[in-house]
Structure 1
Amino acid sequence: MKQLNESAIKEEKLSKQSLISKGKQKRKRWESPVAGYLFLSPWLIGFFLLTLYPMLLSLYFSFTNYSLLEAPEWIGMENYSNMLFNDSTFYKSLYITLLFVVISVPLKLVTALFMAIFLNQKLKYMSFYTTFIYLPSLIGTSVAVAILWRNLFGSDGLINQFLGIFGIQGTNWIANPDSALGTLILLVVWQFGSSMVVFLAGLKQISPELYEAASVDGASKTRQFISVTLPMLSPVILFNLVLQTIGSFQMFTQAFVITKGGPIQSTYMYALYLYERAFAGFQMGYASALAWVLLIIIGVFTALIFLSSKKWVFYEAKGGK
């Protein structure tokens, strides 16, 4: 009986050890990098096939004469030299785009910040106000919104009808070269919801004790905003600034639907010029060169923003700027 008990105990120990070893083997198998790459495979396949491969292909096309109808012909740097030395439309579209970015981005961020400050107050029905204010950004840069905007600012649009109540003769805002770009800027600023939500999240992370200490020291609301809110919110401002700058450089839908680049090319955005070169002029090689120059320009502006952030962005974890 004693020998039987001992053998039973040994068998039980062996079975436990085998189970433990199997568990360890399973853990090792799942701890392998292969498992991680397996889970990442949908994103990796999409990245290589839908992002990296088209980018490399467009880089090749930028050195060719490619009309979409015939095989690309290698011409070296000719597209880039023509762009820089012979293409006045390139510089005009770039100037208009830079003007659009410089005006629209600060206006959009300022509007989003002050609306976020308003929504950060403890008032009734604040969730309803937040949803209502965010609604214009929810519908995004859709064609329907662009058509609505074109009708609003047309010669017989709602804006001129409203001005007519006060005896003011409104112009055709979209057909006027002096105001056409302003209508596009106003549309972009009106869709400030995404930046506002990010600002609102940042405001909720600021400790109330900072405002209490500032008020004890006699700081007014304006001084609290300058000395507490802006420094503590500066990383969020940097985030929104980079995103909005990149997005504004690529603005296309509004200019294409509302003004088609007119009147007299006063709203002829860079992306619109690129599109017309590619699909209206069938100059895909030249359009690819335009796309890579735009990528470089966006990269330079983004780098400048990050370099300047060392002077004005406050990181609390690092104890300062």
Structure 2
Amino acid sequence: MLEAEQILHERYQLKQQLGHNAGRQTWLAEDLGVSPPELVVVKLLAFGGDVNWDDLKLFEREAQVLKQLNHPRIPKYLDYFNIDDRVLWFGLVHNYIPGSSLKEQLNQGKRFTEGEVRQIAVDVLKIIEFLHQLNPAVLHRDIKPSNLILGDDGQIYVIDFGSVQDRASQEGATFTVVGTYGYAPMEQFGGRAVPASDLYGLGATLIHLLTRTAPADLPQRNLRICFKDQVNLSANLISWIQKLTEPAPEQRFKSASEAILALELGMTLNTPKSNKLIKLPRSNFVNNSGQGGVLDDRVPVPDEIKGWNWGAFLIPGFWPIVILNKEETLRSTIFTNYFIQRSVYRSIHSGSL
């Protein structure tokens, strides 16, 4: 039986229990091995009883992965040990992050604004992007409000890598089923996680923050979480979250970076429904895209981007869209022979200059 003030591994003095569940305990402790002592988090697993070999493998994997990670918004690995005191305990130590989880904030009555949710989404996606770009890719597999910490420094941290998978899932491969109901997508409960599984977890988390209702308690239609009638959000953010939480992983964004780009562009830059191909004087542009078609159009500048001087955006799979802001007019010149769907630009055809 572990108690406050008890010293483990001749170094870690337990101060406050942060959580417990089925043979697992998490403690805030003081590391007496440094001067002055520093606060750390000690995660403990009691082997035996409800805890089996698969649980121990996941625990050891968490330690191994954390040891290899180096990111300012991910807990820093400090130590791994085991002690045999009538019960065989395995311990993982990482640095303490002052702050509170998003779940705690919800429980305290916090209501998240659209702006706050957008910022949280971008912050978490940047961490997910880092994990997925590692070789081999690291999949968190348990993104949810309780695993996202809003630090006292105002930054978002991703914690609890107890469900982590340190390689991308291969076709036909099977893995331990982990995740939290409501936040984990269907493919994960089938034992197969992919990078898009973490995007689903983020989308479900954002739905929870916005509706203040756990996604598992919201109605579903065709396996899709129904939430838009319970929120007052811009249409583009609703569409963006819906894409994150598509039941089929191939229907979600292909990567965290693509999701960030779509969110920043707003998915709302609409031009009139026209397929008119305008031939412009060559002095106005240089077409080195290899594409024959040009669409040049002008529409009022959306409020979201007023004040920009100019910008060039690369959309995966398409040629550059160049946007020039002059007074209250948005000029879009596109070289492409692709169709850009979802009402960004419609009816674009190739032609000859």
Global fold match (TM > 0.5):
no
Report the TM range for the smaller structure's normalisation. Answer: under 0.3
> If each structure's helix is expressed as a fraction of its own residues, which one has the higher value?
1
Max Rg structure? 1
Q: Quick check: which one's strand share is greater?
A: 2
Larger relative contact order, structure 1 or 2 (CA cutoff 8 Å, min sep 6): 1
TM-score, length-scaled by structure 2: 0.19
